[in-house]
Structures are given as structure tokens and as C-alpha cells.
Amino acid sequence: MKRPVRIGTRGSRLALAQAEWFRRAVEARCDTAAELVVIRTSGDRFTDRPLRDIGGKGLFVKEIEQALLDGDIDCAIHSMKDVPAELAGDLVLAAVPEREDPRDVLVTRDGRGLDALAAGARVGTSSLRRRALSLALRPDLAVADLRGNVDTRLQRLDSGDFDAILLAAAGLNRLGIAPAGARALDPGPFVPAIGQGALAIESRPDDVAALLARLDDPPTHLCTRAERAVLAALGGSCHTPLAAHGRIDGATLWLEGVVASPDGARVVRGRQSGPITDPETIGRRLADELCRNGGAAILAELDAR
């Protein structure tokens, strides 16, 4: 390209850190100039209400996708966990770079773990999945909504508004933040969100997509394809505590998943595996297993609300 590749991004500190890393990678590995275009999304404008009440994580994506469709940018960088199961128009995922740590992290002022929190301890999170899994393990906790950027959430913990908060390890790592009281949670019982820790590079199906494919990490892309197949099959929304996490062992892709009620009283777990050559089939099989074992009833109740 004669002009720089225009990369659309949100303007939060974390989004800009991710986008700047990607901009440098494009210049280094694609031998072309790149620049950032900051787009303010609905999810960034409305921070006073839970995401599930105003449209869900897709609010972090839709304006950026529209800029892509309009030709105002050449590609976009998202946190994969924010990307809906269906992309807008004919947009494609041109690349999925190597995944960061997918785990969740519990942060407290004194470093205690989830098991050691006092009964009634106030735990902050913006995620229904984290709420449900926390309550499944500790139904005596008081889990409350907490939105805002990472710095704001940590400040509210320090000020005593919360006894603990739940964050993504990937976000902390990308920002270079290492809270003294942080403990990574076992991804077995605390299954990560679909796409957590991964970045999604979205573009039109053109020469830019072909160029950016150089930045793709095949193992990460395969795992997230399987995870997103679960999302597509179950029709998960912002009202659904839903998780799926894949890992590759040799030529086999292992996929674990969860559907839970928001109060954590019901948690349906499943596990599937298969050849890495067919990740979507593995994801659909896991979705079927979760539905058969009680997930369908949970989803139907949530849809009826």
C-alpha cells in the first residue's frame, strides 16, 4: 500500500496499548507504514450502567465495524471476547495474533484467594460469567457491578469500595500492571470467556486482509474458532453467563465450556475434543453437550426475561 494502513481502535488505555503493539507489528512484519484511528464507541460513552442493560459487549465493536464498512479505516483491532458471533457485512477476521494469558485474576488488597474471602465480601466485576462462577464457588459473596477502565477498578478496590475485584490477566499484562494482591484463577473451574486473552484483527476481504494474515497465530486462531462456534451455536448474549476455552495438544484440540445461571446456582460444564483441522465441529459438539445437560433450560429462562 502507498499510504499507511489505518487501524481502527477504541481509545481506552488498554485498547491503545493493544493497538500500538499491533501497529508496530504491522510495520515490522508487513513492511508497510501503519497509523491508529481512534473511534469512540457506545460502550465507552455509557459507563454508568451495566453492559447487559445497554446492549452488551457488541457496543465496543459496532461503530468500528461501521467505519470499516464505510472505508474510513483499513482494519480494526478488538479484544476477541468483545466480538459478536456474526461479523457485520462481509467483514472477516484477517488475523488472530498469539494469545496472551487467558485466565481471570482475583485482586485483593492483601493477596488472599477466593476461598479466603470473608462471608459477605464485596466482589466487583462487570462480567456475568465471572459473577456466576464466583457465586458457584462462593455463594456467600456479595458480587456487584463494577465498570470502568483497569485503573479505575483498581482505585475503587484501594479505596475500600470492594474487598476484591475480578480482572483479565491479559489486560493487566498488556498494561504492564502487576498488583501485589493479584492471584490468577484456575481456568478449570473458572473457565475463561470465549476469546479471552486473544486479539481479533478485522478487515474487509481485500488486499489488506491478505497482508495482515502474516500476523496470524494458527494455534490461537484455531482455538478461538472453536470457542466462537460455541457462541454461534448457543446464541449467547450479554445476558448469558457462557464460557468456552480451547487448547491444543499435538494434533488434538481440547475445548471446555460452561453455561450457568446468573446467580451461580446452576452450572453446566462440558468438554469435547477432536482434530485441529475441524474446530467448528468441536465447538458445535460442545454446544450440543451443554444444551443436553441442562444448558438449554438455562438459556430458555434467560431469553424469556
CATH number at residue 31: 3.40.190.10
Q: Is the pLDDT of residue 294 over 80?
A: yes
Q: Model confidence at 203, in pLDDT bands (50, 70, 90)?
A: very high
pTM as predicted: 0.92
Q: Model confidence at 54, in pLDDT bands (50, 70, 90)?
A: very low
Catalytic residue flag (residue 82):
yes
What mean pLDDT is predicted for residues 153-175? 96
Residues 78 and 202 in one domain: yes
Q: How many domains does the chain have?
A: 3
Expressed as residue numbers, the domain containing 285 is 218-305
Helix (H, G, I), strand (E, B) or coil at 26: helix
pLDDT value at residue 55: 45
pLDDT value at residue 94: 98
Give the range among 154-163, 189-198, 200-209, 238-247 with minimum mean pLDDT: 238-247
Q: Is the pLDDT of residue 95 over 80?
A: yes
- Among the listed residues 74, 82, 101, 104, the single catalytic one is 82
Residues 203 and 232 in one domain: no
Q: Model confidence at 147, in pLDDT bands (50, 70, 90)?
A: confident
Residues 156 and 294 in one domain: no
Residues 1 and 93 in one domain: yes
Residues 166 and 276 in one domain: no
What mean pLDDT is predicted for residues 139-167? 95
Residues 210 and 258 in one domain: no
Residue 173 lies in a domain: yes
What mean pLDDT is predicted for residues 13-36? 96
Residue 41 lies in a domain: yes
Residue 65 lies in a domain: yes
Q: Is the pLDDT of residue 289 over 90?
A: yes
* Element counts in the chain: helices (H) and strands (E): 11, 13
Residue 177 lies in a domain: yes
DSSP 157-224: HHTTS-SEEEEEHHHHHHHT---TTEEEPPTTTSPPPTTTT-EEEEE-SSHHHHHHGGG--HHHHHHH
- The answer to whether 231 touches 286, Cβ cutoff 8 Å, is no
Tally the residues of the chain.
305
CATH code of the domain containing 267:
3.30.160.40
- The answer to whether 214 touches 262, Cβ cutoff 8 Å, is no
Q: Model confidence at 53, in pLDDT bands (50, 70, 90)?
A: very low
Residue 192 lies in a domain: no
Q: CA dihedral defined by 64, 233, 262, 84, rounded to 10 degrees?
A: 0
Residues 36 and 78 in one domain: yes
What mean pLDDT is predicted for residues 102-114? 96
